[in-house]
Amino acid sequence: MKKSIIFLIVFHFSIFTVKAQNDFRNNNQDKPNTKNSGIVISLGAAANYYYGPGDRNFDKYENDRLNWQINGMLGLTIARSQSDHRTMLAGFGSFGMNNAKTVSHIFDDQGYVTTATNQNSNNNVYQLEGGLLIGEVFRISTGVGQQIFNKQTITSTDGLITQATSLKYNSTTLGFNFNVSAVAIIINCNFDYGQDYTKTVIIPSAGLMLRF
């Protein structure tokens, strides 16, 4: 019975999404396309899940790995399809808050031992990437990120770091945008690696973005 209800909800939501997209296209198909380039700004929010290294079990879910982030995109249209779907050269930014458990997981996964007995409940994390949004659907981008935490001494196989306040890493994201009028449902998979990270970690996320 539950599966039938879920199926019906998904079915009706799919019909609504397709209808909304068709209505949006129909309302705009008569408008002249006076230029093949333009600037697009998008802002939104998403929930992310710190999965960690890829050797963990995919069927294991832990509430303390769930966090939130704000996303932004500044895109320059470089191509436009016959159906008016744009391909953009874009800069992507995100600002989030990772909880204390997530920071502890990061230390454990990257082989760091800290002298701090507790972590702050909210720890800033930043990412800045550049890449492409192809056909307004598929995202591929890469850049850098930084995990902030309270000042503390940490040790690893590379030695002792006193008064450490952050870990830096490289960041690559693959994702999909499902557009409904000016709102997009976004599903991304972020890979963090290199610099202060010894292992690649996976952070999937899902949310909404509003296009201006």
Domain total of the chain: 2
The pLDDT, as a whole number, for residue 47 is: 98
The pLDDT, as a whole number, for residue 84 is: 84
Per run of 10 residues, the mean pLDDT along the chain (length 212 residues) is 40 42 49 60 97 80 95 96 90 98 96 94 97 97 98 91 94 96 95 96 97 86
Domain match, 146 and 105 both: yes
CA atoms of 168 and 48, how far apart (whole Å): 19
Contact predicate 181/166, CB 8 Å: no
Domain match, 143 and 78 both: yes
Strands (E), the chain: 39-49, 66-80, 86-98, 113-114, 123-134, 138-156, 159-180, 183-193, 201-211
The pLDDT, as a whole number, for residue 16 is: 41
Domain match, 8 and 80 both: no
Contacts of 193 (CB under 8 A, 6+ apart): 169, 170, 172, 199, 200, 201
Domain match, 1 and 80 both: no
pTM: 0.80
Domain match, 92 and 20 both: no
Grouping H, G, I as helix, E, B as strand and the rest as coil, residue 59 is: coil
Domain match, 24 and 68 both: no
CA atoms of 37 and 33, how far apart (whole Å): 10
The pLDDT, as a whole number, for residue 57 is: 67
The pLDDT, as a whole number, for residue 26 is: 54
Q: What is the CATH number of the domain that holds 177?
A: 2.40.160.20
Domain match, 78 and 138 both: yes
Domain match, 26 and 114 both: no
- Listed residue (132, 125, 131, 115) closest to 197, CA to CA: 125
Domain match, 12 and 87 both: no
Domain match, 46 and 101 both: yes
The pLDDT, as a whole number, for residue 159 is: 87
Domain match, 49 and 84 both: yes
CA atoms of 109 and 120, how far apart (whole Å): 18
Q: Give the range of the structural domain holding residue 26, as residue numbers without chain letter.
A: 1-31
| C-alpha to C-alpha distances, 12 to 3, 6, 25, 91, 148, nearest whole angstrom | 14, 10, 20, 34, 42
Domain match, 144 and 77 both: yes
Contacts of 203 (CB under 8 A, 6+ apart): 48, 49, 50, 51, 189, 190, 191, 192
